[in-house]
Amino acid sequence: SFLLFRVKVKNLMSVVMIGKALKLTGYHSESKAKEYKHVCKRACQRAVDQLKAGALAVEAVAAALVELEDSPFTNAGMGSNLNLSGEIECDASIMDGKSLHFGAVGAISGIKNPVLVANRLLSEAQKGKLSAGRIPPCFLVGRGAHDWAVSHGIPPCPSEKMATKFSLSAYKRNKRKMELAEKMDTGQNQTKKRRQSSENENGSGCLDTVGAVVVDLEGNVAAAVSSGGLAMKHPGRVGQAAHYGCGCWAENACNMNPYSTAVSTSGCGEHLIRTMLARECSAAMQSEDAHQALLEAMQNKFISSPFLTSEDRVLGGVIVLRCCRCVEAQPSQNIQGILVEFLWSHTTESMCVGYMSAQDSKAKTHISRLPPGTVPGQSLAIEGGVCRLMGVVE
């Protein structure tokens, strides 16, 4: 299905799109859906406020992610999933379409907003080489990432303060189920059934990475993503949210590419890493028909990817912005506009998205779901819209 929304905007050229809260099994409950929509709206508003104040896309997308990380209802920053050792380790990355610089952190603990560390890595790299001609890092992990963040003025946050009642109770529940499973017969078929049942019952299959994509007043694009990773993951595991070309991608238009594109992904990190889905979707968006291009990319480069032939279900989703400039002659003035297409697609059962332009009084939100009767991981949903952002050329 493809939904088309048309919005006319004058003088302010900016659009924010947020995606979060993919679930592997079961529809979102109405109570949780309401909370997901609220946090998406707040994130959109925060980014738009930044854009109206003159911020660039990369600054606005970081602001949106901070709002998402601060929510106890998202698996990012505060309230993230706990790993096997009962600790929180987060992944995040950000990419600036104007400079093409990228910053990321993986398996970082004790930092409330991992995206701020990723963004600081990006901005520090733009300053050039370090002393003695050393290349500045763009991706740091673990203790090294934490220490670098603190040395650059980002305050630490005790891990126990980042855990919420919900994440702690989920950890205890998952740990009991794992201990029980280990005591039972470990036959292959029974183990597989128990694993699937466990995911269905305790929500360990919840793949709620958060992400955002933005186009600013100048037509620059940026993308970011943040995640606490899978529940009960092995310590040190790094998901797609930190990997280059896998969690997010942003690239302004150039001579070779007529469209500016920004992509953020969510889902099973291992599936997204092995397919580099963010970059694949960005490349596909250079085709004339954005909807058809994204549909084919999700089907051919993800669900039917030769790199995932051993997987029964391929789980993930994307939010995408595609922009191009256009100039129209008017009787009294030249009007410069940006045509913005925003799309989302997912193979998981549901996905919450929010979007907002600088002219909107509030963000719009939507829970996208697979069509009835389809199988998660084997089918996909795709929706989106378009808006024309106008401004006067002096």
**Active-site residue set:** 209
Cα distances from 320 to residues 15, 112, 190, 237, 245, in angstroms, run 12, 27, 40, 26, 14
The pTM for the full model equals 0.89
Q: Tell me: the pLDDT tens digits for 57-102?
A: 999 999 999 999 999 989 999 999 999 999 999 999 999 999 999 9
Nearest to 122 by CA among 143, 106, 134, 104: 104
Q: Tell me: the pLDDT tens digits for 4-58?
A: 333 333 333 456 677 654 444 434 566 678 888 999 999 999 999 999 999 999 9
Residues facing residue 355 across a β-bridge: 17, 364
Banded model confidence at residue 297, pLDDT cuts 50, 70, 90: very high
Give the DSSP letter of residue 349.
S
Report the C-alpha gap between 92 and 90 in whole angstroms.
7
Three-class secondary structure of residue 314 per DSSP? coil
The DSSP line for 33-99 is: HHHHHHHHHHHHHHHHHHHHTT--HHHHHHHHHHHHHH-TTSSSSTTPPP-TTS---EEEEEEETTT
- Residues 126-152 have a mean pLDDT of 97
Q: Do the Cβ atoms of 320 and 213 come closer than 8 Å?
A: yes
- Residues 224-237 have a mean pLDDT of 96
